[in-house]
Structures are given as C-alpha cells and as structure tokens.
Amino acid sequence: MSPGAPRGGRFDTRLEARRRAGIRFMWLCRLAVAFGVASLVVLLVSLAADGLPALSFEFLTSYPSRFPERAGIRSAILGSAWMLALVAVMSFPLGVGAALYLEEYAPTNRFTTLLKTNIANLASVPSIVYGILGLAVFVRFLALERSLLAGAATLSLLVLPIVNIAAREAIRAVPDSLREAAYALGATRWQAIRHHVLPAAMPGILSGTILGLSRAGGETAPLLIIGALTFIAFDPLSPMDPFTALPIQIFNWTTDPRGEFHALAAGAIVVLLGVLLMMNAAAILIRNRFER
Amino acid sequence: MRKSEPGSASRHTRVGERLIGALLFASGALSIVATVGIVVVLLTESLGFFAEVSPVEFLAGTRWSPDLVPRSFGILPLVNGTFLVAAGAALIALPVGLATAIYLSEFASIRTKRTVKPALEILAGIPTVVYGYFAVILVTPVLRTLFPGVGVFNAASAAIVVGIMILPMVSSLSEDALSAVPGSLREAAYGVGATRFEVATRIVVPAGLPGIAASFILAISRAIAETIVVTLAAGATPGMTLDLLQSVQTMTAYIVQVSLGDAPSGSIEYRTLFAVGLLLFLITLALNLLSQRMTTRFRESFR
C-alpha cells in the first residue's frame, strides 16, 4: 500500500506523491505489455532468420530424409491437407447440426442444460486426453491403426465444441423476425432454417469453423499419442493410409540432436504459421463482412 | 432460446421434417457420447492398472519407475514435475498478464489497444509445437550461458515458455473482467478525489477479482495440461526436485513417452498411460469447474 492513499476515513492530500506512485505503476504495466509484445517479436524474427533460408522448392516437394540437405515437407504438407479436409468434413456437419438442435429445436429442460454444460466442459478438456481417447477407441478398438482417419476423428472430437459454440452464437444472432416471417408464409421449421436461418448465420458459422480448423492444423499432442510420429516418405492417397503432418514433422526435427535439422524445423514452422495465419485472417475477414 | 414456433396446423409436415429433427438431435447427443467415451476409456483401463497397483502406492509413492525393475508406480514425481513447471509459468504469466490487462483496460489509448491486442491474439494462436521449438532452440541455450551447469533439459526453459504461452489467456480474460466493472464505480472514486492509479488498484481490480481469479485458474489448468513444450524442453527425468534448473518429467510428458514407445494393449505400461491420464483429466476438470463457478459469481455480482 502506498502511504499517500485515502484510508480509514482520513483523507491524504499529498497529491504529488500519489501521482508519482501512479506514474511508477503505469510504467510497470507498460513493461508488462512490452514483455508480451517483445516475446512475439523475438519469436517471429528468430523464426524468419532461421526458417526463411530453409525454404525452397525442393524443401516443399521432398520427402523427409536422414540427410538434412535432402529432407523436405512434402508428405507433411499433404498429410496436414488431408487432415484438415477430413476434420472439416466430420466436424462441420456435426458441430452445426448440434448447434441447430440446441438453438432451434431443443426444449428448455434439464437435458438441454446438461448438453450445453457438457459441451462447455469438453471445450476445456486437455488435447492430450483426446489423444488418449483416440488411441483407445479409434486406433485400437475400431482398429483404424495409425491412419489419417484415426487422426482426423480424434482431432474432430477436439474441435467439435469450438465449431459448435461458434455456430450457436451465429444462429442465436439471427433475428426472430426472419423465422416468424417464414412461418407466416407457411414454411415448416426445417424450411425456415434451411432457407433463412442458415444463410443468415453462415458467415459466423464459417468463421468459427475455420478457427476450429486452424486449431486442428496446429495440434501435435493428440497425434503423437495416437502414434503418428513415424517416417513417411510417400504420399498419403486414402484416409486409411498412415501419415505425418506439419506439427509432427516440426516436433521430430526439433528433437533431433543434429543442429542442421533445427533449420528445417524453422522452415516447416514458417510454412505452418503462414497457413494458420492465413486461415485466421480469412476467418476475421468473413466475420467483419458479416458484421457490416 | 427460440421464441417463435411454426404453426401447428401446417399441412406441409413431412416425414423428412421429423427425420431432420432426429438427425440434429443425434449430433447434439454426440457430445454426451464423447464425454462418456472419455470417462469410460480412462476408467476401464485405469481399473486394470489399479488391480495390479494399489491406489495408495500410486497416489502417495515418491518413486516413479514403471519399466526398471524393481518397478515402482508412485506418481508424486510426475505431479511434482507438472506443478513445478506450472508454478514457474504462473510466476511469469499471472503478474505480467494482470498488469497487461490493467494497462489495456485502464490506461491505454485506443491506438495502443489496437496494436497490442492483435499481437497478443497472434501469440495465443501460435501452436504449442512452435513454442516447444522456441524453448529448445532459443531459451535453453540462453539459460545455459547464464547458468553454467544447466542441462540440455531443464524445467526453467519449459516454465518460461509455457508462461509466455498462457500469458495472452490471462491478459485477455482478466481484461474482460476489468472492463465489465461498471463505469459508475470508477466515477464515484474519481468523484471523491482518487487518482487513476488508485481507481485502478483500489476499485477496479478488487471489483474484478473473481473474474481475474477465474482467468488465473484457467491459465494454470492450461499449463498443467501443456504437453509439447514440456516434452521437448523439460526432459524425461521423474524426480522430487524443486530445482528449476534440473530436468523433470511431467504427467503429460510421461504419457507422450509411453505412447511413443509402442506399449502393447493390456500391458501395465499401456495402462499407466490411462491412470496418469485420468489423474490429469480430474485435476484439469476440477480447476475448470472452479474457474466457471467464479465467472458465474462474478457475472451475478454486477447484475
């Protein structure tokens, strides 16, 4: 407690001292802000310095290799692309369907409340726990092995709550007058949703889905747990193929004691961050257009 | 909740309508299936584990040596590693995050906000594997130059980087809490002659305290669940040390170690993965529920 503060009914008017304490505090806060911003700058600058020189056409189109000068991220890029496509196909209909049920169909009762609380809690389950679930259910029980499908199903469970929560917000924001107008013209509930609610909510739903996908694209832990840390020097051609992905490749190269591979990790990070930032920017653009 | 309903006398009710309703209900109910799945998977495999290892040995034992004979399954070294890294991360992220939140909510100009907030959002969107790379390539070498004798793997590097990773979460959630404090409280304080500093620290922060506490708990829960940074930077040496410069193993890093080792289904190694996962799940669930309760209470206090 600074000595110049009002306390116990007595009023301290040493304004100069109190102002100085305020200024000192503000600089302390500025220091904190600078720490966060500086961390980002250091991170990005060091990545650019180490990663950009590693980028080349060969790097993007070669398979991983024991020899750093020949190693590339072809199979990792293809694996990540497959993964994102499969996660989108699984999580979009399920997440939006659940959102439509909760916002348009569900009666107000304890089961609905339970569903909502449950989804909120699922959103904060550690990603490594989803990995354990995927290992036990998809990899072993359903015998999908270490396939793209097993990885995508695991990541879909992980992003479903994110997609669902975003979609619910977007659907809730659609004014009721739209539904009423449709009903007044004789539309059924699904017709009103299909032709009026969904189109109006679509920008919000899409931006939430893209954010969920960008989360899935950067996830490493669940894929490690289901056993995706393998050497893949071929193109994955079907959902049942084994795979690698950009985060896995980065993890692998970072653990390599040979320093040459660290530059490759930085190169792969530049590619990954580039893709994820573009996805996030797309989500923000879609949302802003919608708000206007 | 929806307020309007389609007319019940509609002649166009088709079978399709009912089918669609059922499909949408099924996708909603999937979330329950996922939760039940998590609980069932963790419990059944853990039960197999506890048939061989007594829960008392598991929870109170101080030696974790699941593959070296004599085997020992005391999880406290892993819990110690987890909490050591989380505490170190909290030491950085909580004060820095709160100070950032106070600055953004009470002092910053709109222009500063416009540059700082997106920077923090980018920091929040960076995948954990990138933070892991950052810890191994940048932070650990710096620590090793500053403190000779620090190993390639050490808790400090992981703690610093996890701290930076959870910082945006603390600052953005705390700022939400501070911004939700009604302006009338600030105006009343200014009215009796308080300075901006006094308004921020004596009025706004105490009023937003439940929200701030909720953000702290959520960030600590995130640090406890963090996997990749600790696996890459803190190493795989389970121990009861409180020395941040030593290598430690966290619960999450152990889970990764087992799953990379290809343990066969039904073996005790495979089952430890679920027992450790169950404990991790319960700890984070408890923290998340606590955080949710504080947020609800906070919202109610200003209603």
Cβ neighbourhood burial of B216 (10 Å; 0-12, 13-18, 19+): buried
Selecting from A29, A127, A176 the residue whose C-beta is nearest the C-beta of B99 gives: A29
CB contacts < 8 A, A to B, total: 277
Asked if A173 reaches chain B (Cβ–Cβ under 8 Å), the answer is no
Q: What CA–CA distances, in Å, run from B19 to B23, B25, B33, B263?
A: 6, 10, 20, 44
CB B74 within 8 A of CB B83: no
Interface test with B, best of A193, A254, A270, A275 (most B CBs within 10 A): A254
Q: Do A93 and B274 touch (CB under 8 A)?
A: no
Structure confidence by residue, pLDDT tens digits, B200-218: 999 999 999 999 999 999 9
The 3-state DSSP class for residue A5 equals coil
Measured between beta carbons, the chain B residues lying within 8 angstroms of A214 are 125
Whether residue B191 is predicted with pLDDT greater than 50 in this model: the reply is yes
Q: Has residue B59 been placed in a domain? A: no
C-alpha distance from A162 to closest chain B C-alpha (Å): 12
Q: Quote the domain boundaries for residue B243.
A: 72-301
User: Which residues, 6 or more positions from A282, have their beta carbon under 8 angstroms from its beta carbon?
Assistant: A207, A210
Measured between beta carbons, the chain A residues lying within 8 angstroms of B20 are 190
The size of chain A, in residues, is 292
Selecting from A32, A97, A130 the residue whose C-beta is nearest the C-beta of B96 gives: A32
Asked if A212 reaches chain B (Cβ–Cβ under 8 Å), the answer is no
Q: Do B130 and A272 touch (CB under 8 A)?
A: yes
Structure confidence by residue, pLDDT tens digits, A243-290: 899 999 999 999 988 888 999 999 999 999 999 999 998 988 888 877
Strands B64-65 and B72-73: antiparallel
Q: Do B288 and A47 touch (CB under 8 A)?
A: no
The answer for B 48-87 residues in CB contact with A (under 8 A) is none
Asked if A147 reaches chain B (Cβ–Cβ under 8 Å), the answer is no
**pTM of the predicted structure, to 2 decimals:** 0.91
Asked if B128 reaches chain A (Cβ–Cβ under 8 Å), the answer is yes
C-alpha distance from A166 to closest chain B C-alpha (Å): 14
Residue type, B215: S
pLDDT band at B1 (very low <50, low <70, confident <90, very high): very low
Selecting from A179, A190, A280 the residue whose C-beta is nearest the C-beta of B4 gives: A179
- Give per-residue burial for A241-264: e unless 16+ CB within 10 Å, then b: bbbbbbbbbbbbbbeeeeeebbbb
Return the bridge partners of A181, or none: none
Q: Do B128 and A220 touch (CB under 8 A)?
A: yes
Assess whether the previous peptide bond of A6 is cis (omega < 30° from 0).
Answer: no
ipTM confidence score? 0.91
Q: Has residue B42 been placed in a domain? A: no
d(CA B22, CA A100): 12
Asked if A122 reaches chain B (Cβ–Cβ under 8 Å), the answer is yes
User: Which residues, 6 or more positions from B155, have their beta carbon under 8 angstroms from its beta carbon?
Assistant: B81, B84, B85, B88, B234, B243, B244, B245, B246, B247, B248
Task: Dig out the tokens for B84 from the structure.
Answer: 């050591």
User: Spelled out in words, what is the top-level CATH class assigned to the domain A79-291?
Assistant: mainly alpha
pLDDT of residue A289: 78
Matching residue, tokens 């354990």:
A132
The answer for B 193-252 residues in CB contact with A (under 8 A) is 193-198, 200-202, 218, 221, 225, 227-228, 232, 252
Residue type, A270: V
Measured between beta carbons, the chain B residues lying within 8 angstroms of A23 are 197
Q: Has residue B64 been placed in a domain? A: no
Measured between beta carbons, the chain B residues lying within 8 angstroms of A13 are 193
C-alpha distance from B99 to closest chain A C-alpha (Å): 5
C-alpha distance from A33 to closest chain B C-alpha (Å): 5
d(CA A69, CA A128): 33
d(CA A264, CA B87): 32
Asked if B137 reaches chain A (Cβ–Cβ under 8 Å), the answer is yes
Q: Has residue B192 been placed in a domain? A: yes
Mean pLDDT for each consecutive 10-residue tract of chain A (292 residues)? 50 80 93 96 93 89 84 91 96 95 91 91 93 92 90 95 94 93 91 93 92 94 88 86 92 88 93 93 84 56
Structure confidence by residue, pLDDT tens digits, A90-115: 999 999 999 999 999 988 899 999 99
Number of structural domains, chain B?
Answer: 1
Q: What CA–CA distances, in Å, run from B257 to B60, B106, B196, B252, B262?
A: 22, 45, 51, 9, 9
Region B168-182: mean pLDDT is 94
Measured between beta carbons, the chain A residues lying within 8 angstroms of B27 are 93-95, 97-98, 101
pLDDT above 90 covers what percent of chain B? Answer: 69
Query: Is the sign of the CA dihedral A270, A273, A275, A277 positive or negative?
Result: negative
C-alpha distance from B289 to closest chain A C-alpha (Å): 8
Q: Has residue B66 been placed in a domain? A: no
Q: Has residue B227 been placed in a domain? A: yes
d(CA A88, CA A93): 8
Selecting from A6, A121, A189 the residue whose C-beta is nearest the C-beta of B194 gives: A6
Measured between beta carbons, the chain A residues lying within 8 angstroms of B6 are 183, 187-189, 192
Q: Has residue B28 been placed in a domain? A: no
Which of A19-23, A72-76, B165-169, B176-180 shows the highest mean pLDDT?
B165-169
CB A217 within 8 A of CB A275: yes
Matching residue, tokens 């609980």:
B39
Q: Has residue B57 been placed in a domain? A: no
pLDDT of residue A7: 52
Indicate the range of A264-268, B117-121, B295-299 predicted with least confidence.
B295-299
d(CA B22, CA A41): 50
Residue A194 DSSP class? I
What are the φ/ψ torsions at residue B72 (nearest 5 degrees)? -150, 130
Ranges of each domain in chain A:
79-291
What are the φ/ψ torsions at residue B122 (nearest 5 degrees)? -65, -45
